[in-house]
Every structure is written in structure tokens, then in C-alpha cells.
Structure 1
């Protein structure tokens, strides 16, 4: 093969750069590509000729790959670009493949979530339609953990660890006062409640918070929620509730403090489930109530990253590079769990056409009958994913990350 180009897209995670590092690591050890370019801001960097030579970065620094593994968010930047169909905008595809030809590209790697895998699918099919030899491989990421045909996605384990740790710390904060209070923690998850489910890991021998957990997979009944809160407050002073941003009622309407809008991908832009529940409980229960939205902190907290998550993300990057080296295309690198105890996995690839636009929901049997808690099966699934702590490098008390001036000064 000659050269390769890699890009990142969608929402960032703590581990997405680790997958980028995995591709670079594989190439460094196996010399598959002469050069690896990095497209800035996703696929738009190719369309606008904005890219960097990652091979030079490796030559300039002996520890570039190691620092990249531990740098949060996206070293190459992201985009929210909806890839059109070839019949709607053929010029987009023509420009991308003209770029591939000019820079002698044999493989394109796209690290991202559901919409990014749709782009991988469309580009690989287009390549086949014009008899192009360019290999197009997807590398998964998303803190939502909602990609199908993969046990879990890179970024989820670290975000899960952050969520659970934050709720345990908030529990300590609430326990100091001798008064009735309710704390609501809103967690990312539009269609799947995996990240909110991870809050169950905050429980230990002395703290049972979160006391109530609500996911999008089960219809949310505000009346039942108030009943649950009142029942708990009769026995204890503090109630901590974990809710997904995408909770909705039995009619499918989102429980939100403001009217929902659609983004360019047709996804609902949610706002205020926690605040809406705060107002409801304050009015119906009458105790001290506050809501907390974790927001982007869930996806950029390298100081609470899971070492397992980072190591698996690197391995998935290596797997993707290996697939391309074998001449494969139209696949997404995957991880399959073969054992819970001991925790064991295998890596491979799956046709991206069977992954794009699918959503992996939390199994209903992993949620209790009333829909306000989780079963032991969920805990068993989650526990291995948050294990281990990476060793960060600090300077003057602050973590040292890679310089991203190339994103700031575009």
C-alpha cells in the first residue's frame, strides 16, 4: 500500500485519540503505509484540503503515540457533516476520491459513531461502484455505547467511570446535611440509556445512590416517579436520581423543560430533562431539590479515564489498520466479549452496512419491572469496562496533553 488518511467525527471521547494512536502504532511496527495523513475536522478536511502529516509528527517526537493515547477529545478535530447520497451530490464523492488519487491514498479510516459509520458505508460502496481500490474502514467510538454488533464502544468505559465517580462524590456532598433533599443528575443518552445505567456502579457498602435510575428504554411516568421519591423520603433524608436526557413518556414524548428541535441528522436536540424533573418534584414533594447536568464533562475527563477503555481503543485502531492491510473494506473494527469472569475479548471486523443507523438499546430484562432500577446482569456487564487507571504526566500541577494549535489557528 502507499498512503492512508484518517479522520475523526461526531462527539469526542476520552479514548478516541487512543484509537488514532492504535493505527499509527500498527503502521510504525508493520510499515504498511509510507505516510499517514490526518484530515482536520472530519471528512470536511478532505473536502477543503485541510490536513496534517501525522508521519512527520511521529518523526518529531519519540513519545507522540504515548501522549496521543492520553490526550482527551479529538486531536484531528471533528465535524457534524451529513454525508449526502452519491446521486444527490456526486461532486462531493468526486472531490473526495480526487483527493485520494492526488495523495496516493490506499486506505481511509474514519473514527466515529453511528453517523460516521454511515459515511464509511457510503464511501465504501461508492468506491466499489467506480472500481476504486481504496479501502474504507470504520473505527468505533461513542460514550453512548449504542453501536450494534460490538460488545461496547471505545469512550464508553471512561465516561461510565466518570458518571459513577461523580455520583458517588455528589452522594457524599448530600449526606452532610440533616434535611430532606432530592438531587437529580441528568446524563447523556438520547435513545439508549447505557451511560445512565453506569451510574449503578456508584453504589457501595455504605451508599445506595443513585436511589432511582430512569432510562429511555422504559416509558417514564412522572406520577410514579413522584410516588417513588415520596416513599424513599419517608425512610431517608436524601434521594439521588439518575436520568437519561432522552427519557420519554408512553406516547414517546420527551420529558423536557423546553421544546425539542432536530439537528441536521434528524436527531432530537434535547434540553432540560433534569430541570423539568426538578420543577415537578419541587412542586409535588416540596423539599429541597436541585438538578445537575454532567454535559460534556462526561466525555473529556481524562483524569478519570479507564485504562481498560484506553487499551481496548488502541487495539481497535490496530485491528482496523490490520483489516486494511489485508485488503478488507466496508468493515468496522469490533470487539466481542467471550467471558465476564475473567474478562476476555476478541477483535475483528463486521460489515459496516449492518451497523450504520442501528441503535443498541439496553436489554429490557436488565431493567427492573417498575423501570426505576437495574439488575445484577447490568452490573456484571459494566464492571470490567471501568477498570484500571492510566498514568498521566503532570507539569506545574496540570496534566500535559498534546498541543492542538493546528485546530485553534485554522
Structure 2
């Protein structure tokens, strides 16, 4: 065995220090790549149209590397901006979309829950804006008015698009007809109108979540939305869609988990022995022409936890199956129907249960300690 002398100890220590120094240099170089000048200019152009009452963009200064600016994330390798995350920042004014889409490597743009009122587009920059890497765009919960700029529809790599809870209006034909890779689309709570293009379902077979609720859409949806075989969430209530909905519409929707058809004028025609290809956890059918018979297919939904069929003209139910269904759910809303059943000797254990404004009779039921809220008012 070779003796460990003071000289060898010194050499060993020097060797360790060399490794540590070189390692720290490599680490520093990987995180100190300066922000790309072009990206910095694009961000400053965007800032020019923003009203920043609370100085949340105070760090956005040429005296500071833009990769260290509030809400900006860059690649450690290239220094190019990949994420802009300014949600809940109390920003107002306009969104200069042309400048933001000059960020060639931007994948994630989140400006939700601000006070923006407009989206501006510089037509002179169109030529350089077609090929972007943007995959996630969230402009929800703002106050944006007007129609959707065509520039958004031209973002062919979009996987998630959320424009909900704004004041947008007009047709979405140009937007939806150009999308090819969407997995999540939320246009709810706006003033959109017109038809849903048929090619939308052909181009977006991978779509998992679609929310068009609370708009002014018209026409039939049978030949379009029923073909979105990957859908897990479908919300199309509170519109002016027309037509009949039967089991045919759902034949390809085997992955469906959430369904919202509330506040609609659809005519429901389901075969009494139909068993759906899906198991829902959430079902919203309030203010529809569902009754008078409670649809037998709903009894087959063993995973149902949230169910709303209030004001749906229901008067006739299968008593045993009905109470079994109610008991398995956590939230049930069956107000404003005409259901006539005895409540005596029942034990109600649903967490939140509204059975008010019906024709229930008998003594008050037993109520489980697991029940948080129950409304039995306006019955008999």
C-alpha cells in the first residue's frame, strides 16, 4: 500500500479544487447566457401598449437582462424566451400580439386574469409571423372586445387555446378551420355566433376538452362535435344550437367524462335501453327539455359525482334507481321539477342536495352527518 504523504495529500486537494472550479464555471456559463436582443426588443414593444398601474413590469428595463424580467423564462442554453407568464398581474391596455409572436421560441403565453381590452396586430409583420412555436395561449378573464385576429388562427402549433370570459364576438370559422393540433379549446362566456365548421372535427381528432358554452352559436352540431373521439370534456350549453340529440351523437365519445348541455333547446331522443360507451363524473342538463321521463341511460352512470337536472321538466322516475343515483353523488341539483315521491324513511347522504320546488311528500327524511347542505323547500 502506497503511504499517503503530505505531498500526495496536497496534490489530491489541488485536484479536487480544480474539478470544483471547472464545474462551477460550466454551471455558471449554462445559466448566464444573455437574453437575445431581438427577444428583448419584442418584449419592450409589447410593454409599450400595456398600462401597468402596480409596476409589475418595473424590472423590464434595458439595464437588466430580459431573462431576469418578471414573468419571463428563457432557455439556459440559447437565451431565447420560451415562456411569458403574466397572469394575475393587474395589467390593462392592449396586447400587441404581433410583437409577442416575434418571440420565435415562445411556447407558453399566459396573460389570463388581467384587464386587457384589445388585441392589436401590426399587418406589416405578417410575413415573419407564420412559423412560431407557440403551443399554449391563455388570454382568459380579461375584457377583450371585438373579433379574434386571424393571426391567432394561423398559429398551427397551438395545443391549448383559452379565450374564455372576454367580450369577443363574431364568427370563429377562420379560427377553427385552420387549427390542426388542438387538445384544449375554451371559448366560453363570450359573444361568438355562427356555425361550427365541419372540418374542425376532422382536423382535431386529438381534442380532449372543448368548451363553447355561454355564447350565441347556432346550427346543428351532430356532424361535427360527435366525431371528436378523444373528447373527455364537452361543454356546449347556453347557446342556440338546434336539432335532436340521440345515442347516435355519442357513439364515438367513449372517453367522455364531463358533459354540459344545460340551457339548451335540443330535443332529446334516447332509446330506453341505451347504455352509453362512457362513464361520466359530471353531467349538467339544467333548463332543458329532458322530461317528463327521467332518462334511463343516466342510471347507468356509476361514476357520476356532480349532477344538475334542475328545471328540466322531469316528473316520472324509477324510485329505487333514482335514490341510488342520488346517493352516489356529491352534488345533486333537481330543483324546479315535478317529481312526486315519498321521502319518509329515507336517509339522504348526498353532500349538497337540492330537491326544492317539486312534489315530494311524506315526513322529513333522515339526514346523514355527511350532508353539508340540503334544500327541501316548496314541496308537500
Q: TM-score, normalised by structure 1?
A: 0.24
Q: TM-score, normalised by structure 2?
A: 0.25
Taking CA–CA contacts closer than 8 Å with sequence separation of 6 or more, which of the two structures ends up with the larger relative contact order?
A: 1
